[in-house]
Amino acid sequence: MCFLHVLYCVVSGKQFDDPVSYFKKIAEQRTEEKKAARKASVTIDLGSSMDRSEDSLKNVGYAVLKELYKQPELDQFWKGILKKTSIQYDLEAIFRLLVFSRILYPASKLDTFHNKGIYFEDIDGFALNDVYKALDLFGPGRYTLETLFKETGVSTADVQRRMMDFGMHYWQSHHPYYVPEPMTLEPTETPSKEDIDEYIETLKYVFDEAYSDPDKVKGAPYQSVCHQLDESNMDDPDQWAVSWRCYLKKFQ
């Protein structure tokens, strides 16, 4: 209901037998006017033909995916992230394009970008280079145990080996590390909530143990057939053997 209309009636001293019914009727009229303004008519010439060189194929069926995409408010999530950064490109549009394309037209990031015109709506607001830069934000989160390491001497590799004693997988990161003492949490669809809760409690236990008994964490694993491996040569390319044939040639 328009506030100015109400204000006009009050100022002009207009009288109503039933003001509630009057303004309700006005509100209903305004609502119908807005609905009518949103309607659009499309004229289709059934006798027209498409030139052989014309490419007017547009995917309209992805509207179902778009609705599913909006239900968990993924669009609002990425827009909220964007507000907290100095990023100039449309982060949410890139994520939306990659999600829809992975389901409908799986392809490389390059092909996905060049084929973004296949959709009925324009998915713009970014360049190809922006797509590659955005992958760092879309990828699995890299957390750091740098504080734990500085305060206890327990590294992320020590935590990984200690988690093995509880039969749990713990991933640090791809090499080379771009954050110190990285820890990557990326549960898939397989674990249940109970599994994840147990994993969190186990992590908390190991972190507490790092402060109370750091040597025990550093000495892990204790429940493995194979104890700690000698990793002193991991940074020496001359000691690397990426295949069995290479190992025999170098060390036999």
What is residue 133's predicted lDDT score, i.e. its pLDDT?
Answer: 84
134 and 154 share a domain? no
The more confidently predicted of residues 235 and 105 is 105
Distance CA 96, CA 103 (A): 11
Query: Are 83 and 107 in the same domain?
Result: yes
Same domain, 148 and 220: yes
More confident residue, 181 or 121: 181
User: Is 211 inside a domain boundary?
Assistant: yes
Q: What is the mean pLDDT of residues 51-70?
A: 71
Q: Are residues 156 and 211 in the same domain?
A: yes
Domain count, the chain: 2
Same domain as 152, residue 128: no
Task: Output the pLDDT for position 7.
Answer: 45
In order, the DSSP letters of 36-92 are: HHH-------TT----TT-----B-TTHHHHHHHHTTTHHHHHHHHHHTS---S-HH
Is 83 within the bounds of a domain? yes
Confidence bin at 14 (pLDDT 50/70/90): low
For 200, the domain range is 142-225
pLDDT-derived band at 102, boundaries 50, 70, 90: confident
Same domain, 95 and 147: no
With beta carbons less than 8 A apart as the criterion, state whether 66 and 85 touch: no
Place of tokens 């954050």: 179
Work out the average pLDDT over 66-94: 86
pLDDT of 156 reads: 93
Q: Is pLDDT of 213 > 90?
A: yes
Assess if residue 250 is contained within a domain: no
What per-residue confidence (pLDDT) applies to 180? 87
- Shared domain check, 79 and 122: yes
Asked if residue 179 lies in contact with residue 132, where contact means CB atoms within 8 angstroms, the answer is no
Inter-residue contact 30 to 1 (CB < 8 Å): yes
Phi first, then psi: what are they for 182, rounded to 5°? -75, 150
Three-state DSSP state, 171: strand
- Listed in sequence order, the residues at least 6 apart from 105 whose beta carbon sits closer than 8 Å to its beta carbon are 112, 115, 118
pLDDT band at 163 (very low <50, low <70, confident <90, very high): very high
| 220 within 8 A of 209, measured Cβ to Cβ | no
198 against 238, higher pLDDT: 198
